[in-house]
Amino acid sequence: MTTLQYDNIQIHSTRFYCRRLTTKDATIKYLSWLENENSATYIATAKQTNTLSDIREYILEKNKADDTLFLAIISNEDHEHIGNIKYDNINYSTKSAIMGILIGEERFRGKGVAQEIIEATAKWLKENLQILNIFLAVNRMNLPAIKAYEKIGFLTVTTDEFKVQSKDAIPMVWRV
C-alpha cells in the first residue's frame, strides 16, 4: 500500500474548501461539537474524545495512518472551521474507503454542506487515488442524514459487503 501524503492538500467546492486537519484545529469550539447532545448521539468517537488533549491525540493518530485522509471543512467566506470529513481504511485493491463526516457548526446543518463536501472529496479520491466505492455507517435514527446520503446516491448494502459495529447502524455505499 502506498503511504497517503496530503500535507498541502486543498479540495475546493463552491462554498467551502477542505485541508488537512491538524492539532491546531483541536479547539474549544471543536470540543463543543463533540459535547453537543444533538451531534454527539451520532458520532462514534464522541465518547472517546472528551478533552482537547484527546482530540489532539486522535488527530495525530489518524494523520499518521497510511490509509486515512482526515480533513477540516473550512468556509470560503470567513475561513471558519465548521466540521470535518474523514476517509478511513482506504484500500487501493478494492478501490474503497469508509467515510465519516461531522458538520459541527449547527448553523451550517441542513444547508447542503455535507452533499457539497462529500461530492468534492469523492471526486478528488476518484481522480487521485482511484477510489470508486465509499462506505459509511449511519445511525438508523438519524433520518436527516439518511435522506441526505440517499440524495447524493448512497444505497443501503448488506452487512456482508460492509460490516457495521452497531446494531443501530445502517451500512451504505456510494459507487462514485
- Domain spans of the chain? 10-175
Q: Could you state, in chain order, the average pLDDT of each consecutive group of 10 residues for the chain (176 residues)?
A: 67 97 96 78 60 94 95 98 97 96 94 96 96 95 92 89 86 94
**What pLDDT is stored for residue 162 in this prediction?**
87
Nearest 10 degrees: Cα torsion 93, 94, 95, 96: -130
**What pLDDT is stored for residue 158 in this prediction?**
80
Fold of 10-175: Aminopeptidase (3.40.630)
Q: Are strands 16-20 and 10-12 parallel, antiparallel or unpaired?
A: antiparallel
Residue position matching grid coordinates 495525530: 60
For residue 107 the three cell numbers come to 448553523
**What pLDDT is stored for residue 102 in this prediction?**
94
**What pLDDT is stored for residue 3 in this prediction?**
46
Containing 159, the helix (H) or strand (E) segment is none
In 3D space, the residue among 99, 101, 96 whose CA is nearest the CA of residue 72 turns out to be 101
**What pLDDT is stored for residue 85 in this prediction?**
98
**What pLDDT is stored for residue 164 in this prediction?**
87
pTM over 0.85: yes
